[in-house]
């Protein structure tokens, strides 16, 4: 029975992958492709974040730093050295992991909210640093000349999403994954049985930064222009955590579910925000109380409400909620047999 379920899951994932690879050849509008690209980018970021945030239980609010750092590394290598784009993107991931190792070693000595605050501070710190470096273009940023079209970027981001998911699956099935989860469950107990928790946590942090760096590299070739304000975004750091918690952090599929749903909602809001805001303006005193209400504010309010509701009603995310329903169904089935 379990073997049949496993084969069915693999078949479904293979069919889904074939369909997703075929999407650019269906002649769909470029805006629709851009929505897919945004979904793939956030899926990669959330799955990678989950390596440290979900498996080890250390909630990092600084993963936008690795995304931005990767974007700059690839852009600088491509524009200043003439390195091929794919090589620049790969090195962006490697250098982001090295940066994460340097940041993680001292930061991972603190826990809980202290770790969250310290990691969150790395985003504005790097933003200010890159704004004041001459070779990075300062506040003006960098223009990138690239021949990549939107379908190519689509396939590149899809590939990174699949690879990051494969990394997460391999971690879950390996001894390293057991080490990660032992830290989440009881770090002191893990130390007493001989696990080098400091080394394991640093490894988790470095692995979680590799694909965000590569995704940032692809992003620079997608937008053709980057500056510190766009790639070192505090909002992105918060959204990565929100999307992951919404989907569920116990398994690799949870962050993908969360990112896919919420990024799609965000894009739909941008399309229909004008209509929604027009409806809201019919409410008494709405325009006087919220004179500058916009689609961005609407999305922020909605995501804030989602975060509150998830924490209260679904602390383990959608995946945990579905598993709870399945467990209750099995209990009813077994009690009915008795």
Residue ranges of domains in the chain? 2-337
Taking CA 163 as the corner, what is the angle to CA 161 and CA 165, rounded to the nearest 5 degrees? 70
In this predicted model, what pLDDT tens digit does every residue of 209-264 receive, in sequence order? 999 999 999 999 999 999 999 999 998 999 999 899 989 888 899 999 999 998 98
Quote the pTM value. 0.90
Please say whether the dihedral angle defined by the alpha carbons of residues 161, 163, 169 and 172, taken in this order, is positive or negative.
negative
Nearest-angstrom CA–CA distance, 108 and 96: 17
pLDDT band at residue 43 under the 50/70/90 scheme: very high
More confident residue, 310 or 217: 217
- Using DSSP's 3-state secondary structure scheme, residue 225 falls into strand
Nearest-angstrom CA–CA distance, 86 and 156: 10
DSSP 112-151: HHHHHHHHHHHHHHHHHHHHT-TTTTGGG-EE------HH
| Share of residues in the chain with pLDDT > 70 (%) | 96
Nearest-angstrom CA–CA distance, 333 and 338: 9
Assigned CATH topology for domain 2-337:
ABC transporter involved in vitamin B12 uptake, BtuC (1.10.3470)
Nearest-angstrom CA–CA distance, 267 and 247: 18
| Cβ neighbours, 10 Å, residue 10 | 10
- pLDDT above 60 (res 338): no
Q: Which tokens sit at 23?
A: 């999407």
pLDDT band at residue 337 under the 50/70/90 scheme: low
pLDDT band at residue 76 under the 50/70/90 scheme: very high
pLDDT band at residue 317 under the 50/70/90 scheme: confident
């Amino acid at each position: 029975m379990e073997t049949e379920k496993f084969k069915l899951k693999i078949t479904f994932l293979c069919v889904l992958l074939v369909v997703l690879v075929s999407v650019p050849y269906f002649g769909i509008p470029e805006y629709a492709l851009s929505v897919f690209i945004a979904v793939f980018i956030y899926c990669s970021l959330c799955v990678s974040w989950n390596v440290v945030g979900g498996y080890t239980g250390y909630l990092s609010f600084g993963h936008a730093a690795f995304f931005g750092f990767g974007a700059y590394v690839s852009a600088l290598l491509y524009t200043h050295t003439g390195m091929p784009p794919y090589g620049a993107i790969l090195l962006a991931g490697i250098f982001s992991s090295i940066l994460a190792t340097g940041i993680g070693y001292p930061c991972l000595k603190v826990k809980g909210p202290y770790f969250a605050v310290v990691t969150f501070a790395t985003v504005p710190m790097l933003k200010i640093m890159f704004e004041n470096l001459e070779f990075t273009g300062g506040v003006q940023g960098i223009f990138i000349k690239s021949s990549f079209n939107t379908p190519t970027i689509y396939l590149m981001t899809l590939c990174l999403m699949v690879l990051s998911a494969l990394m997460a699956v391999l971690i879950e099935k390996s001894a390293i994954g057991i080490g990660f989860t032992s830290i989440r469950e009881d770090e002191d107990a893990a130390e007493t049985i001989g696990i080098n928790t400091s080394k394991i946590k640093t490894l988790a942090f470095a692995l979680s930064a590799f694909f965000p760096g590569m995704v940032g590299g692809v992003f620079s070739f997608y937008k053709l222009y980057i500056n510190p304000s766009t790639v070192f975004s505090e909002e992105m750091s918060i959204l990565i955590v929100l999307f992951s918690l919404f989907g569920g952090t116990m398994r690799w599929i949870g962050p993908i579910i969360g990112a896919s749903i919420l990024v799609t909602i965000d894009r739909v809001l941008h399309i229909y925000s004008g209509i929604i805001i027009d409806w809201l303006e019919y409410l008494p005193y709405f325009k006087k109380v919220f004179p500058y209400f916009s689609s961005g504010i609407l999305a922020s309010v909605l995501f804030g409400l989602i975060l509150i509701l998830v924490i209260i009603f679904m602390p383990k995310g959608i995946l945990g909620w579905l598993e709870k329903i399945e467990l209750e169904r099995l209990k009813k089935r077994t009690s009915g047999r008795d």
